[in-house]
Amino acid sequence: MSEVPYFGNSQEDAALWDRMYLGDFLLPGVVRVTVTHAWKYEVGETEGTDGAPTVYKGRAPRSLACTLIVPDQESFDAFVEMHREINAFNTGGVVTPFEVRHPQAQIAGITSVNVTDMVVPAPDSLTPWTITFTLLEHGPPRQAQSSGSPRRGTLDLESDDEAAQAGTRGLAPLPPSRFS
């Protein structure tokens, strides 16, 4: 059984998918995350033949496209504080990566990210405030594996032992979202 909580098991597990930790911050409101995986290939051309030789050139850093729904005053105040801290880290030419915790990131094996962009639109009093941002995987470069024969891999998810024993799988359980 996976260490990642399945969102359909319980309201508690579903609530874990609504939340994201970025560094020390629990993002306020409800977050939706989509992971993009990209692999780099060099495609050769051989005149007069069908098909083309391909050479695997490594994996591009994965990205997390995030949508944050800020439904109330408390979440708004927390976002303003978090936004100031994120901007403070990106000054002086040195970018400090953030630890990230969310089930989507855990599935992809992403533990450290940089914030690459954030779109903060004008609020609308009729609907919850929706902010979008992108996180880019941060980590040391790894040697690309050869593209010889097809291979099968295993998913190795690290988990915090205490959190796993508590049933939180590294994320703090919160009440279910009313914006699911």
β partners of residue 69: 30, 130
Which residue is associated with the tokens 């105040």? 77
Please tell me what DSSP assigns to residue 129: E
Indicate the residue type of 89.
F
Arithmetic mean of pLDDT, 38-42: 89
The 10s digit of each residue's pLDDT in 151-175 is 333 333 333 344 334 444 444 444 4
**Cα–Cα distance measured from residue 99 to residue 140, given in angstroms and rounded to the nearest whole number:** 14
Chain center to CA of 60: 15
CA dist., res. 97 & res. 159, Å (int): 20
At CB < 8 A and 24+ separation, what contacts does 86-90 make?
Answer: 86/22, 86/115, 86/118, 90/115
| All structural domains of the chain | 11-45+54-140 (2.40.30)
| Cα 39 to Cα 55: distance, rounded to the nearest angstrom | 11
Rounded to two decimals, the pTM is: 0.68
Residue range 51-72, pLDDT digits in tens: 788 888 888 899 999 999 998 8
Higher pLDDT, 102 or 87: 102
The pLDDT-based confidence of 90 (bands split at 50, 70, 90) is low
Say if strands 39-43 and 54-59 run parallel, antiparallel, or are unpaired.
antiparallel
Which of 15-29, 41-55, 81-95, 146-160 is predicted least confidently? 146-160
Region 174-178: mean pLDDT is 40
Average pLDDT, rounded, for the chain: 76
